[in-house]
Amino acid sequence: MMRLAVTAMIAVLLAACSTTPPSVVTLPTTARPVQPVVASINNGSIFQPNSSRLLFEERVARNIGDLLNITIEENLSAVNTSNSSSNKAGSLDYSTTGNIPLVPWDIEKYFSREGAAAVKLAGTNKFEGKGATNSTNTFKGTISVTVTDLLANGNLIVGGEKQVAVNNQINTLRFTGVVNPLDIKAGNTISSNKVADARIEQLGVGSMADANTIGWLQRFFLNVMPF
């Protein structure tokens, strides 16, 4: 019974140490099923309310299920430098010639009677700190996404996912965001810099990802060690 309890405790600890970080992508990456279209009155063979398009207009994403090409061009750089210092000093000198009213002799005798300072207090407090942070991130690539929803103002909610498997290594790229149709360029493409609420995530699973991950036992000791 004791051996079973110890085994269960070890299993719980291992499960707690192997938790994965939450995903930053929260919106759906695929389009929801299209509801059946109710038969409407035939307005002719040229003009249709849901498929109208100008004569020289290029075909771009505008409806649920349409595809859109995203050009990922993310360059983030941040530099932060801080310097702080403080210096404070204080002193106190006290002397007496004796005959202090209401002070017993047992206490007064410790004070100087020759005008020299009998009580001296001095203090100094000095602090100096420096810090610097430099962070640079570059992310480039392309991904095709699907229009998953339409907003009332005409903006498109898009999402997509791409997986590439090479030599037992699986790399997954996910992208979601909100697109203004007016920002879509020729070729049905848009830069990620023009996408609002963009969520970009790249994950790797395989031998290379395992080599860059701290082992569960080492991670356990890093969490419990106080220094």
Q: Which CA distances in Å does 199 have to 12, 14, 47, 67? A: 33, 31, 38, 18
Q: Per residue in 181-209, pLDDT tens?
A: 999 998 999 999 999 999 999 888 877 76
Which of 37, 52, 69, 35 is closest to 188 using CA atoms? 69
CA distance 139 to 90: 55
Higher pLDDT, 189 or 84: 189
Over residues 4-62, the pLDDT tens digits come to 665 666 665 555 555 556 666 777 777 666 666 666 666 665 555 555 555 666 788 88
Radius of gyration of the chain, Cα coordinates, nearest whole angstrom: 36
Give dist(CA 172, CA 143) in Å, integer.
11
Closest CA to 130 of 63, 200, 81: 81
CA dihedral 43, 46, 52, 53 (to 10 degrees): -170
- Which pTM does this prediction carry? 0.58
* Residue-wise pLDDT tens digits, 136-194: 888 899 999 999 999 999 999 999 999 888 887 888 999 999 999 999 998 999 999 99
CB atoms within 10 A of CB 183: 13
Question: What are the tens digits of pLDDT across the range 98-150?
Answer: 555 555 555 655 555 554 555 667 788 888 888 888 888 888 999 999 999 99
